[in-house]
Amino acid sequence: MDFRHFFILQLIVFSTLFIGILGDCPNPKVESSTYTSGDAFFSTETVYSIELTVTCSNNQAPSLYAFVNNELILVTKSTSSNSYQVSWSLPHNKAVKGTIPVGFYDDEGASTMRKNMRYGEDVKVDPLFTVDVEHKGIKTQSFIAPGFVAMLLSLLVWWLANTARQKLME
């Protein structure tokens, strides 16, 4: 092996180690807020959204992937801070009421998850962290209360009766 090949091999090894060191997020501190839509009257799907800030002990901001409904979703990262956002939607009949745990993975964990899903392996990959999304269910009722509709109909009947009475009195 000549010097050039040895140098290239060393460069590949050290760059792989360097990227591996920068890529992980030891001891992540997570602050999150979640949102789920609950109205089935105006929409056909339930929307879930998680906004989070992740602070790693090595001050890195890795790419993150969320594992939701047996698929990995790339998490959007803000360019100016360690803020992330992920959202997805489901048809109302598939939306689950209750707590939904969403696991977050770095590049290495997501790669292992993809490999496991591709080959059907049942190997447990621990997420970097998990965020619980609380979905209270959906409402299929109209946004207008039935009592309000009854009051409007009563006023309409009264107005029609009063108008007819005034015409008869003339």
Q: Which residue has the higher pLDDT, 133 or 117?
A: 133
Collapsed DSSP state (helix, strand, coil) of residue 91: strand
Q: Are 63 and 23 in a shared domain?
A: yes
Can you give the CATH number for the domain in which 14 is found? 2.60.40
**Tally of domains in the chain:** 2
Q: Are 153 and 90 in a shared domain?
A: no
Comparing CA positions, the residue from 26, 6, 9, 28 lying closest to residue 17 is 9
Q: Are 129 and 108 in a shared domain?
A: yes
Q: Are 70 and 103 in a shared domain?
A: yes
Distance of CA 81 to the CA centre of its chain: 19
Q: What is the pLDDT of residues 10-43, one digit of tens each?
A: 655 455 444 444 457 888 999 999 999 988 878 8
Q: Which domain holds residue 170?
A: 144-170
Q: Are 119 and 160 in a shared domain?
A: no
Q: What is the pLDDT of residues 62-73, one digit of tens each?
A: 899 999 988 999
**Length of the chain (residues):** 170
Q: Are 47 and 115 in a shared domain?
A: yes
Average of per-residue pLDDT values in the chain: 85
